[in-house]
């Protein structure tokens, strides 16, 4: 096609993706407040709109109107760029997630590999925020988050390898198509739990939210951020949660199966993702948080050996089944 039509088409897809992400973040924040409220015998927001669905919009507008304060002794450029950089991995990953059989922004051969590689970039932005704030609480929070995210990348990636071995490909569409007869959660139960736990640790959600532990270091690395920069960190956390749950749905819960129709496929994909998001919020409102060294113990001494054992057993079973099928 002509080059400007191609460009316009790509820009339109980009705009739709970004709008979808922000609207999803707003919906998720509303869902968290309502769900956590009902789990604590109270109602969540109620006044703006029926059942308070416009509350987040008004909160974002309020945050936009606040004064933009940069501390005098802070490092200016990392301080300003940290909330922008935190969105880059999320938006990039979003381009690779398929919602239905043919609905995907870009489809490459190794999309899972690329997604897992890009996810590690968000560590950079948290450390930048922690260091440049020139505040001891923020420094503690930033360093904690760097240690946490690096040590939980490994079990997460290894637990996904079992799925890759069973499906035989690293492309999301092919992995979902390989789950036609049985969703991968059934043979890979351990892998699913490890992936879910490790990815909750990746995105700093309770019970792994030491970097922003409110009771000790009062909001950790976002202590000096106010106004829309703080809103950027806050929204990014929920966008990451959506991405994690979407990944878990694609890899373990069968994506858009059993429908191949694009509309029904998208709907069932979103329903499965929102069930996982409900479970993540449920965990968030019940459990206390770990201490940093218990948390490192858990990651290195429990999750990593479990994921290696899972990989080993899956490999043996796939080999045996192949040999038996071939012979």
Where along the sequence are the contacts to other proteins (CB under 8 A)?
35-43, 46, 136-137, 140, 206-207, 209-210, 213-218, 282-283, 285-294
Of 66 and 291, the one with the shorter C-beta distance to other proteins is 291
Of 39 and 150, the one with the shorter C-beta distance to other proteins is 39
Nearest-approach distance from CB 106 to other proteins, in angstroms: 38
Nearest-approach distance from CB 293 to other proteins, in angstroms: 7
Residue 258 CB burial class (10 angstroms; 0-12, 13-18, ≥19): exposed
Nearest-approach distance from CB 71 to other proteins, in angstroms: 16
Supply the DSSP string of 62-109, one letter for each residue. HHHTS-----TTS-HHHHHHHHHHTHHHHHHHHTT--SSSS--S---T
Of 36 and 317, the one with the shorter C-beta distance to other proteins is 36
Rounded Cα distance, 327 and 311, in Å: 24
Nearest-approach distance from CB 219 to other proteins, in angstroms: 9
Of 213 and 241, the one with the shorter C-beta distance to other proteins is 213
Q: Record the tokens describing residue 61, joined without a space.
A: 């507008």
Nearest-approach distance from CB 25 to other proteins, in angstroms: 21
Supply the DSSP string of 106-118, one letter for each residue. ---TTHHHHHHHH
- Residue 188's alpha-carbon distances to 174, 195, 299, in angstroms, are 18, 10, 19
Of 173 and 204, the one with the shorter C-beta distance to other proteins is 204
């Amino acid at each position: 096609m002509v080059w400007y039509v191609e460009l316009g088409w790509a820009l339109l897809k980009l705009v739709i993706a970004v709008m979808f992400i922000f609207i999803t973040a707003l919906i998720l924040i509303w869902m968290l407040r309502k769900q956590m409220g009902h789990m604590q015998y109270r109602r969540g927001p109620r006044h703006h709109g029926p059942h308070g669905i416009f509350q987040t919009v008004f909160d974002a507008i309020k945050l936009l109107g606040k004064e933009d304060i940069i501390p005098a002794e802070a490092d200016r450029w990392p301080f300003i760029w940290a909330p922008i950089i935190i969105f880059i991995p999320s938006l990039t990953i979003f381009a690779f997630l398929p919602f239905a059989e043919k609905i995907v922004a870009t489809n490459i051969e190794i999309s899972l590999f690329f997604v897992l590689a890009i996810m590690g970039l968000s560590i950079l932005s948290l450390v930048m925020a922690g260091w440049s704030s020139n505040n001891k609480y923020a420094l503690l929070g930033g360093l904690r988050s760097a240690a946490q995210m690096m040590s939980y990348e490994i079990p997460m990636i290894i637990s996904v390898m079992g799925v890759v071995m069973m499906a035989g490909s690293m492309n999301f569409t092919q992995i979902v198509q390989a789950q036609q007869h049985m969703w991968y959660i059934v043979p890979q139960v351990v892998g699913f739990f490890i992936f879910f736990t490790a990815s909750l640790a990746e995105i700093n959600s309770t019970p792994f939210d030491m970097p922003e532990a409110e009771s000790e270091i009062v909001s950790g690395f976002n202590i000096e951020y106010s106004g829309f920069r703080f809103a950027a960190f806050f929204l990014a956390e929920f966008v990451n949660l959506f991405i994690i749950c979407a990944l878990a749905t694609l890899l373990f819960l069968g994506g858009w199966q059993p429908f191949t129709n694009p509309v029904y496929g998208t709907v069932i994909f979103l329903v499965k993702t929102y069930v996982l998001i409900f479970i993540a919020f449920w965990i968030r409102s019940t459990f206390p948080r770990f201490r940093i060294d218990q948390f490192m113990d858990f990651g290195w001494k429990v999750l990593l050996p479990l994921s290696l054992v899972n990989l080993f057993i899956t490999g043996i079973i796939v080999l045996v089944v192949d040999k038996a099928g071939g012979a």
